[in-house]
Structure 1
Amino acid sequence: MSKNVVIVGGGIIGLSTAYYLVKEGYKVTIVNSTNGFTGASHINAGYITPSHFIPLAAPGVITKGIKWMFNSSSPFYVKPRLDIDFIKWSLAFKKSATKAKVAKAIKPILDINLLSRDLYEKLKSNADFDFHYQKKGLLMLYKSDKVGEEEWSIGKKGIEKGLYVEHLSAKEVSNLEPKVNLNIKGGIYYHSDAHMTPSVFMKEMQSFLLKNGVIFYHNEKVEDFIVENRKVLSIVTNQRTLKAEEVVLAAGTWSSNLTKKMGLKIPLQAGKGYSINVKSNTNISIPAILCEAKVAVTPMQGFTRFAGTMEIGGINEKINKNRVHAIANASKKYFEGLEITSKEIENASCGLRPCSPDGLPYIGKSKYCKNLTIATGHAMMGWSLGPATGKLVAELLAETKTSIDIAAFHPDRKF
């Protein structure tokens, strides 16, 4: 008899987890607080990122964060506030941002990224799906020699880890993008990366899961968990009570508040990001990150997405127009002649990314709750790591050997 699993969260992590559980014969129910078509899983840059093997908590980030703290349009903005969870998270972030801890984090981050890219490619080759997926790599475009040197030092680490990375001159980048007028000094080209159109994949995956018996409860808020003897007996929403043999918590930024209801403390902060969809033909064919501006540019199915900023300011989905305009203005400085209309800026979206203090996701079972598996904290790599996280969770529930070593992602780790 197959186990009954309730997944809390209907983003990329929740849907991917449901997919691999269904493949193993589990009965799956997804409880989602939204309608299934909003949030970070829909408005992200769509990157599959083996290139992103350096965690968010890296040396130098705090210094930049303090400098940018007073500028609401800066790429990385931390809103100071007297909140005990935020203060504890900030101290843990500071402790994590050392060379030694970053060096230790590189292998597990790269391993899970490579696993996830391979799983996306298997899904793409599956007759059940026909989503947009292209492996064209990723360009890290820079305007100053200093930033170019910083990016190339990371690129060389990527080469050491087996990635194919090139340091290109401005002319060599122009040869790759002949229809775009770039104002840059050069670029670091990661051939390892791929990109997608997130909304297309999400719709196809939801459709597949519905056809395969997954029950969705959209627009339902989880209000409580009934826990006895370190085991979740049932999940109480604002509309019903659900019994479950296994529970997977994949509620993104909201996961931290939900774990408190079970007596667990999972440090998380919301990292707000914004995106602008440009419908006119930009002629951009290869995804790029505009290094100084921290803006991601992705050619998607029918439009080009300009996304960026990391705003640590609590759980709120208010759109800061200064930050949206900063993305548009910065993009125009790299792509001469780029047109982003006032309507496209007005229609900008935002999403909240769940950020752990050390930049590593939480994937695993807490010793404090026997039938709860946690899958959150992916920060800016949530889209990239969706399938790998889903497969790892399915392996944990089946009590089989995981595809990669996940010790670094343990939810009970100390900071």
Structure 2
Amino acid sequence: MSKKVIIIGGGIIGLCSAYYLQKEGHEVLIIDQSNMNAGASYVNAGYISPSHFISLAAPGIISKGIKWMFDSASPFYVKPRLDLEFLKWAVAFKKSATKIKVEKSISVLKDINLFSRDLYEDLQHSRIFNFHYERKGLLMCYQSDKVGEEEWKVGKRGIEEGLGVKHLSKKEVNLLQPKANLNIKGAVYYDCDAHMTPNNFMKDMVSYLKENGVIFHKNESVKDLQVSNGTIKKVITDKRELLCDDVVLSAGSWSPLITKKLGIKIPLQAGKGYRINVERETNITIPAILCEAKVAVTPMDGFTRFAGTMEIAGINHNINHKRVDAIADAAKRYYNNLEITSKEKDNAQCGLRPCTPDGLPYIGKSSKCNNLTIATGHAMMGWSLGPATGMLVSEIIFNKKTSLNTEAFNPDRCFY
């Protein structure tokens, strides 16, 4: 039976949810508070990353975070603040950052990333879209033996999970990418990863959805939800009231502001990331993460993107120029003779990534509301997990057996 589904949030998760819902014959409407041309879905590294099977809440990150807390240019920065929701999230994050919990999440993250990669490739082969997509793998480039050993330890765990992983010397990396002129000791190479140009895909998907009857309400904020007997009847915005059968919440870092209206608490913090685009030849042809600096490098359609940092500092889009400089400095250290200009740094942008305490997204229904499907909290894997999340959302709303077990993504899971 066809339903009227309202999606709150028009980022990658919202668009992919709309795609699979409209394919099932549902009437879909998307509400977004922005003009849908900026934010995390547009400034990310464009990675489809089965290699990222270790969650953000990993052992050792707390001690590193405390050390980095005093350095606003560090790769992972947590701004200390007296905010109750942040403090609760921090406690839950600490409890999640254990070896046992991370180990349990490895296969979960790997499986949903592989599933999503397959769905991206299905979209590419459908000939409906014309977006940039390449599967060239990912290089985890390191400059010190200690970091190289740490990365290879993770790589060997990836091999145990069935992924294609190799430990490459500097010479072997140079054979793969002879003109990049990398200043490294070696790299761990994952052949399972792919990359895209986010703006291309977002533009393609919006056009497709409009052509297939999906309605968009841009620059419109959700002010309230009218609920009766645990069911959302109306979504009330600053411009109109909309009847609905089901609601999908994919509002990223703003999602808790909506769930609070329903008495649902989902621990979530905004993690700001930055990007610099270099629109000239860099001779970089394979995506890489510059390990010590935690900077992602992606050869996109017509430019190279340098992205990085995780700044937990609340919801804001203020540009911290020290962090932009840190990304540019890393590019220069790892790629000989690559100088990012002042103009390129001045054009840097940021986006807010919604981070859960355990590094796993929220995908599913809360027991407190029977027609709300929550789809948020993907942190740095939002782009990678877009199609998988969209497919799961459609299956959940249509009461189908889901393609993957979603128990680990339960929005009601307990962190305390």
**TM (normalized to structure 1)?**
0.99
Q: Which residue of 2 aligns with 1:35?
A: 35
Q: Which residue of 2 aligns with 1:170?
A: 170
Q: Which residue of 2 aligns with 1:261?
A: 261
* Contact kept in structure 2, 1:139 and 1:288, CA below 8 Å: yes
Q: Note the 1:66-215 alignment, pairs <5 A.
A: 66-215=66-215
Distance in 2 between residues matched to 1:2 and 1:339, nearest whole Å: 55
Residue 391 in 1 paired to residue 391 in 2? yes
Q: Note the 1:303-342 alignment, pairs <5 A.
A: 303-342=303-342
Q: Which residue of 1 aligns with 2:52?
A: 52
Distance in 1 between residues matched to 2:181 and 2:115, nearest whole Å: 35
Distance in 2 between residues matched to 1:55 and 1:181, nearest whole Å: 31
Superposed displacement of residue 47, structure 1 = 0.1
Query: Which residue type is aligned with residue 138 of structure 2?
Result: L
Distance in 1 between residues matched to 2:225 and 2:110, nearest whole Å: 34
Distance in 1 between residues matched to 2:134 and 2:184, nearest whole Å: 24
The superposition leaves residues 250-276 of structure 1 with CA deviations (integer Å, 9 ceiling, x where unpaired) of 000000111001110000000000000
* Contact kept in structure 2, 1:108 and 1:406, CA below 8 Å: no
* Contact kept in structure 2, 1:58 and 1:102, CA below 8 Å: yes
What percent of counterpart residues are identical? 67
Superposed displacement of residue 280, structure 1 = 1.1
Q: Note the 1:4-43 alignment, pairs <5 A.
A: 4-43=4-43
How many positions carry a matched residue from both structures? 415
SS of structure 2 residue aligned to 1:261:
helix
Structure 1, unaligned runs of 5 or more: none
Q: Which residue of 2 aligns with 1:364?
A: 364
* Contact kept in structure 1, 2:74 and 2:309, CA below 8 Å: yes
Distance in 2 between residues matched to 1:334 and 1:127, nearest whole Å: 38
* Contact kept in structure 2, 1:268 and 1:357, CA below 8 Å: yes
Superposed displacement of residue 397, structure 1 = 0.7
Superposed displacement of residue 339, structure 1 = 2.4
* Contact kept in structure 2, 1:59 and 1:98, CA below 8 Å: yes
Distance in 2 between residues matched to 1:156 and 1:386, nearest whole Å: 27
SS of structure 2 residue aligned to 1:223:
strand
* Contact kept in structure 1, 2:331 and 2:339, CA below 8 Å: no
**TM (normalized to structure 2)?**
0.99
* Contact kept in structure 1, 2:5 and 2:26, CA below 8 Å: yes
Distance in 2 between residues matched to 1:94 and 1:257, nearest whole Å: 23
The superposition leaves residues 85-144 of structure 1 with CA deviations (integer Å, 9 ceiling, x where unpaired) of 000000000000000000000111111000000000000001210100000000000000
Query: Which residue type is aligned with residue 12 of structure 1?
Result: I
Distance in 1 between residues matched to 2:61 and 2:175, nearest whole Å: 33
Superposed displacement of residue 227, structure 1 = 1.3
SS of structure 2 residue aligned to 1:383:
coil
Query: Which residue type is aligned with residue 112 of structure 2?
Result: I
Q: CA RMSD in A?
A: 0.5
SS of structure 1 residue aligned to 2:354:
strand
